[in-house]
Each structure stands twice: as structure tokens, then as C-alpha cells.
Amino acid sequence: MKNEIIPTISKIIGSVLSIQPESITSCMNLSLVGLDSMKTIILIVALETKFEISFDDHELLYEHFNTLSKITKVVSTKLLDSEKF
């Protein structure tokens, strides 16, 4: 599932940070290309909207959203959890 959602997540990141999605690598520190606290909130809302998921308060840590790899992991986990019910 992770590989299937990476292009979508990259597009969302690119849109929020005004960068080309193709330039985003899995381990790139997104704070180096403009991710700050406000843009992290915008990114989280965009991810929740696109994937129809909701992050719990304890999941809303900057450390979970500062690379494509970490974002893919948390989104994949939420999607898998939602399929269990």
C-alpha cells in the first residue's frame, strides 16, 4: 500500500510547500524546503481530507511529518487501521 500512496502524498507536499513533487525524496528533511509549524498543520489537514482519515492528538507530532517516508508511514498506518473496522 505504501508505494501506491507515495505519489499522492508527494503531490500534497508539493502543493503545500510550493515545490515540484518529483523533487521530494523519501528522507528529505522537509523543513529545509519550507515546512514550518503552520504548513505542517495545512499538510495534516490536506492528508486527512484526501485520505478520509483523522489523526489522534498524540499522533500530531512534527517528527511524524518531516519526511515523505515518515508521512507515508503514518498515513499507511491510519488507512490500515480504518480497514480493520
Q: What is the 3-state secondary structure (H, E, C) of the chain?
A: CHHHHHHHHHHHHHHHHCCCHHHCCCCCCHHHHCCCHHHHHHHHHHHHHHHCCCCCHHHCCHHHCCCHHHHHHHHHHHHHHHHCC
Q: How confident is the model at residue 2 (pLDDT cuts 50, 70, 90)?
A: low
Please determine, for residue 27, whether its predicted confidence score (pLDDT) is greater than 90. yes
The model carries a pTM of: 0.91
Please determine, for residue 36, whether its predicted confidence score (pLDDT) is greater than 80. yes
Q: What is the tens place of the pLDDT at every residue in 51-62?
A: 999 999 999 999
Cα of first residue to Cα of last residue in the chain, in angstroms, is: 18
How many domains does the chain divide into? 1
Q: What is the mean pLDDT of residues 27-52?
A: 97
Q: What is the CATH number of the domain that holds 24?
A: 1.10.1200.10
